[in-house]
Amino acid sequence: MNESFMKEKPVLPLILSMSLPMVLSMLVNSLYNIVDSFFVAQISEDAMTALSLVYPVQNLINAVGIGFGIGINAVIAFYSGAGNRKRADVAATQGFVLAGVHSVVLTIGCIAVMPAFLKMFTSSERVVDLGLRYSYIAFAFTVMVVLGITFEKVFQAVGRMKVTMMSMMCGCVANIILDPVLIFGLGPFPEMGIEGAALATGIGQTLTFVIYLVIYFARSISVHIRKEQLRPDREMVLKLYSIGIPATLNLALPSVLISSLNAILAAYSEVYILVLGIYYKLQTFLYLPANGFVQGMRPLVGYNYGAGEHERVSQIYRIVLCMSGVIMAVGTVICLAVPEPIMSLFTHTPETIHAGETALRVISAGFIVSAVSVTSSGALEGLGKGAPSLIISLCRYIVVIIPAAFVLSRILGAPGVWAAFPVAEAVTAVIAYIVYKKS
């Protein structure tokens, strides 16, 4: 398949054709996250708290898979745009090998640290037990998760967005169907509780990987994994990691942020930890669709940058920024208009609902301006400029928000943590725009 359409097709139709399949699949993925949390919340509030505490480690696994996948995606897109098919194949081949190594290390490491990690944030033996029962099963599927993500980024790099949409949607729909069946024991299936939620997630992720594998062998794409290119290529490995490591850190930083905010909120009440966990599930409904546009943008800016079409790169950036802003504006309206019904989906405790209502209204003040940071960071990754992208994420997730949350919580109590979100988004948006323009 010839990817020259990436530099020949008019920009707006091109972005829509590349991004809309990803936006659709991301909407389904975000719906899965919410449905999954809804069913877990029906088990007990302790189960939902356990899921909230496990989330940062799950996010770390996804961060490594997606971050290194972004490196593979950017390198393949660049060499494809430059017309160098052989080097694109080398990037794909060595990317898969390294991703496999990462997945094995993550499986062993994450399972090993979970007991100590959970006990850092709760004294409840019940919550720790539920967290361990969930995480041991969920993390057993890490190899499937990481290799599935790697396939996703390879298909995206050559413009096959419909394949990634179909594969991801099939996995998410399987998750949604299996959640109530395995959690509550419908039909011939035993009632598994929180372990059922983990197993449903793992089966859905495995299905996504299998679909990618079948399509790769059944329908040829322009980039191939070749046995003769398995031998490590020092230059290629360095290039993959030079983009993949900053991208991984970008995506892993939310795990550091959530754990840090959990530590601050634990001084007040576990109710606030639960609220933070619910918020991070809900915000996927906004940021995942926005990320769909960013994912559609990455191979386009990489290909056009490699082909020397710099004006098209600027046009692509501006259009995606506007699209992301529209999505975040819709999210702001929803959170301001109906925060109480939203929180009621995950808890029936009046105290938690009230705290969550306040959190959604305060945090949503930073949604629209965050489009600048999200779009700028994604564009820089697509251009292969991992370090500037990392600077943006460090400001957004560590440098500004954690000190702001600590200081404001001392002044306003736990709600001060919510106030830190819009403060951090506003400051980071200014920094992101400057960094993007200079890069």
Which tens digit of pLDDT belongs to each residue from 93-138?
Answer: 999 999 999 999 999 999 999 999 999 988 899 999 999 999 999 9
What pLDDT band is residue 179 in, cutting at 50, 70 and 90?
very high
Among candidate residues 26, 12, 85, 59, the one with its CA nearest the CA of residue 297: 12
Q: Residue type at 314?
A: S
Domain count, the chain: 1
- Across the chain, what does the average pLDDT equal? 89
Does residue 281 carry a pLDDT above 90? no
Residue 1 in any domain: the answer is: no
Residue 58 in any domain: the answer is: yes
Q: Which residue matches tokens 């372990």?
A: 195
Does residue 48 carry a pLDDT above 60? yes
Residue 387 in any domain: the answer is: yes
Average pLDDT score over residue span 322-343: 93
% of residues, the chain, pLDDT over 70: 98
How many angstroms separate the CA atoms of 59 and 74, rounded?
22
Does residue 38 carry a pLDDT above 90? no
Element (H, E) at 113: helix 85-119
Q: Taking the CA atoms of 273, 332, 313 and 400 in sequence, report the sign of the dihedral they define.
A: negative
| pLDDT at res. 4 | 66
| pLDDT at res. 104 | 96
Of residues 304 and 362, the one with the higher pLDDT is 362
Q: How far is CA 164 from the centre of its chain?
A: 15
Cα→Cα distances 272→90, 252, 262, 277, Å: 48, 22, 8, 9
Q: What is the DSSP string of 41-86?
A: HHH-HHHHHHHHHHHHHHHHHHHHHHHHHHHHHHHHHHHHHTT-HH
Does residue 241 carry a pLDDT above 70? yes
How many angstroms separate the CA atoms of 337 and 358, rounded?
12
Cα→Cα distances 232→247, 308, 318, 387, Å: 22, 29, 38, 24
Of residues 399 and 11, the one with the higher pLDDT is 399
| pLDDT at res. 385 | 84
Cα→Cα distances 187→42, 105, 184, 407, Å: 19, 37, 10, 52
What pLDDT band is residue 68 in, cutting at 50, 70 and 90?
very high
Reduced to 3 states, what is the DSSP secondary structure of residue 7?
Answer: helix
Q: Residue type at 436?
A: Y
Does residue 89 carry a pLDDT above 80? yes
% of residues, the chain, pLDDT over 90: 51
| pLDDT at res. 197 | 93
Average pLDDT score over residue span 139-148: 95
pLDDT-wise least confident of 42-56, 284-298, 365-379, 423-437: 284-298
Query: Which tens digit of pLDDT belongs to each residue from 285-325?
Result: 788 788 888 888 888 888 888 788 888 888 999 999 999 99
Average pLDDT score over residue span 71-99: 89
Residue 3 in any domain: the answer is: no
Residue 146 in any domain: the answer is: yes
- Boundaries of domain holding 350: 8-438
User: Can you give the pTM of this predicted structure?
Assistant: 0.74
Q: What is the DSSP string of 349-406?
A: -HHHHHHHHHHHHHHGGGHHHHHHHHHHHHHHHHTT-HHHHHHHHHIIIIITHHHHHH
Query: Which tens digit of pLDDT belongs to each residue from 380-392?
Result: 988 878 789 889 9
Residue 340 in any domain: the answer is: yes
Does residue 239 carry a pLDDT above 70? yes
Contacts within 8 Å (CB) and 24+ apart, 227-233? 229/89, 229/90, 229/93, 229/94, 230/93, 230/94, 230/97, 232/94, 233/90, 233/94
How many angstroms separate the CA atoms of 114 and 133, rounded?
10
| pLDDT at res. 2 | 52
The tokens describing 428, both together, are: 């980071």
How many angstroms separate the CA atoms of 53 and 47, rounded?
10
Does residue 351 carry a pLDDT above 80? yes
| pLDDT at res. 266 | 87
Q: Taking the CA atoms of 215, 220, 223 and 229 in sequence, report the sign of the dihedral they define.
A: positive
